[in-house]
Amino acid sequence: MNEQTRTPSRSGGRSARRAARASALPEHLRPVRPGMEGGVLKVLTDVQVEQIHQAALTALETIGLADAPQSGIDYLVGAGCTLGDDGRIRFPRALVEDTLANANRSVTLYSRDGKTDLELSGTRVHYGTAGAAVSMVDIEGNAYRDSTVQDLHDAARICQELDNIHFVQRPMVCRDIADNLEMDLNTIYAACSGTFKHIGTSFTEPSHVPPALEMLHMIAGGEDKYRERPFVSNSNCFVVPPMKFATESCEVMELCIKGGMPVLLLSAGMAGATAPSTIAGAITQATAECLAGLVYVNAVSLGAPAIFGTWPFGLDLRTGAMSIGSGEQALLTAGCAQMHHFYNLPGGAAAGASDSKLPDMQAGWEQMCSNVMAGLSGVNMVYEAAGMHASLLGFCFESLILADDLIGQAQRCVRGIEVTDETLALDQIAEVCMGGPGHYLGTDATLSRMQADYVYPTFGDRTSPKEWAELGKPDLLSKAAARKEEILSSRPAAKFDPLLDSEIRSKFHIHLPA
């Protein structure tokens, strides 16, 4: 569990304690924080995990994957795979097991300013954005519009101000930029100029990686500095399920690895369409595909930083529509987390997205269900945890802001229950019950722990109906909209130095206004 105690003190009296509560808590005493350990929820037994592992190895050895680029064939065959007459590459069990033994067990995803680095290992949990939404949710008009590069920049700026959003993987595409190269480069510019937090991005073509690395080297202050602390990683859909490599994405992956960029190995099969309809089958296929990706990465560069990105999604089998807000999706993610832990690999999966078109009650139950289960399962990187609607087609700023509260509560569940002599509180019970006031309100022990133990919502309303009416009957969306305007009206904390910005703009066609 997550040990987090705060020694009570009587020195200074109540006024001193109030002053201490008004100040920011030290990072290690915050009630929730990035990287707390989950893993207490296990939806699979040890026997079932072993069954999935063995089934994945059998699939790799007997079925294999098709459509690798020639460079991938060369890497994989050189590592010990076999290329069949049918064009499929098959992976001997011993090769996969050797790769697992030598793979990178701990990956650090760096931030640009060094203040929000993420250590991915064990069951340490982090929440953030992700996805490729093509639309923005307009809560005032209950409508959708195309997403733009300005929206991406604004999303990054908002994420920078939210404590419980730990990383910013590109949540939407810049539909106002027609040229794919310019879109890829502007995605990096827009995100990096909006936040210091770690950023994930994708590339549409292999030829886009070198100029992107050039821009990142400029931002970092040199290639050596970027390689030392790569603050942007590559989200790579290296497979097209079922069991086929995505040829160009694999070529992108090779270039990113050589460029020192961490890689998310993303397998996103759709249960019932591009993956088996059963939860166990979908997890097995995703596991097999990501094991193939792990062999590939280590064949390119042994020990290169890679995230085991099993992202199977669910379908509503009545209609074929995605059901990312379903209980089945939460189980898929939790089961994948156990496979990450079985292999002791840094892992990521999807949770926290909604099928609802708006940030309404449906969105609330769907987002909380999978975010809590992902955290309790110990997913290192919980992707798409905030702001995603309409089965990943829409992104909402107000929902992103409200998710900071939602994820805060989810993280409190991850933190769990500390049981110590202090928290058992026998001394408090005796003091209150024998000659004391008969309640715990305002006691030294209560006051000393009220900030370190409890998560208080920023926007969630805990007032009485009378107080709520006296305050003008505020609602969540209006409060979130006001906070959005407040953030976007201020100067971005991560804004580039004017000289650097001018150099980038002279080299690349930047679509955001200066």
Residues 44-82 have pLDDT tens digits of: 999 999 999 999 999 999 999 999 999 999 999 999 999
pLDDT in tens, 208-234: 999 999 999 999 999 999 999 999 999
pLDDT at 13 over 80: no
129, 127, 109, 105: which is closest to 118 by C-alpha?
A: 109
Which pLDDT belongs to residue 2?
61
pLDDT in tens, 410-439: 999 999 999 999 999 999 999 999 989 999
Strand, coil or helix: what is 217? helix
Taking the C-alpha atoms of residue 72 and residue 380, their distance in angstroms, rounded to an integer, is 28
- What does the angle CA 120 – CA 291 – CA 252 come to, to the nearest 5 degrees? 80
- Residue 11 pLDDT grade (very low, low, confident, very high; cuts 50, 70, 90): very low
Taking the C-alpha atoms of residue 61 and residue 231, their distance in angstroms, rounded to an integer, is 36
Residue boundaries of the structural domains of the chain: 100-415, 419-456
Which pLDDT belongs to residue 30?
87
Which pLDDT belongs to residue 3?
52
Taking the C-alpha atoms of residue 393 and residue 322, their distance in angstroms, rounded to an integer, is 10
pLDDT at 378 over 60: yes
Backbone phi, then psi, for 103, in 5-degree steps?
A: -70, 160
Helix (H) or strand (E) holding 382: strand 381-383
**Distances 461 to 364, 473, 479 between C-alpha atoms, Å:** 14, 10, 11
pLDDT in tens, 17-29: 555 555 566 776 7
pLDDT in tens, 265-276: 999 999 999 999
DSSP labels for 15-80? HHHHHHHHSPPPGGGSSS-TTEE-----SS-HHHHHHHHHHHHHHHHHT-BB---HHHHHHHHHHT
Q: Please give the share of the chain, as a percent, with pLDDT higher than 70.
A: 95
Strand, coil or helix: what is 316? strand
Residues 6+ apart with CB under 8 A from 336: 283, 286, 287, 310, 311, 312, 347, 349, 379
> What ranges in 259-360 are assigned the alpha helix state H?
279-300, 327-343
Taking the C-alpha atoms of residue 399 and residue 388, their distance in angstroms, rounded to an integer, is 8
Taking the C-alpha atoms of residue 276 and residue 284, their distance in angstroms, rounded to an integer, is 9
Which pLDDT belongs to residue 350?
97
Residues facing 36 on adjacent strands: 125
pLDDT in tens, 126-158: 999 999 999 999 999 999 999 999 999 999 999
DSSP letter, residue 239: B
**Distances 183 to 40, 150, 178, 202, 513 between C-alpha atoms, Å:** 41, 12, 7, 10, 15
- Residue 6 pLDDT grade (very low, low, confident, very high; cuts 50, 70, 90): very low
> What ranges in 196-278 are assigned the alpha helix state H?
209-220, 223-228, 247-258
pLDDT in tens, 466-491: 999 999 999 999 999 999 999 999 99
pLDDT at 340 over 80: yes
| Contact by Cβ (8 Å): 400, 136 | no
DSSP letter, residue 492: P
Mean pLDDT, the chain, rounded, equals 95
| Contact by Cβ (8 Å): 458, 486 | no
CATH topology classification for 100-415? TIM Barrel (3.20.20)
| Contact by Cβ (8 Å): 227, 189 | no
pLDDT at 12 over 60: no
- Residue 15 pLDDT grade (very low, low, confident, very high; cuts 50, 70, 90): low
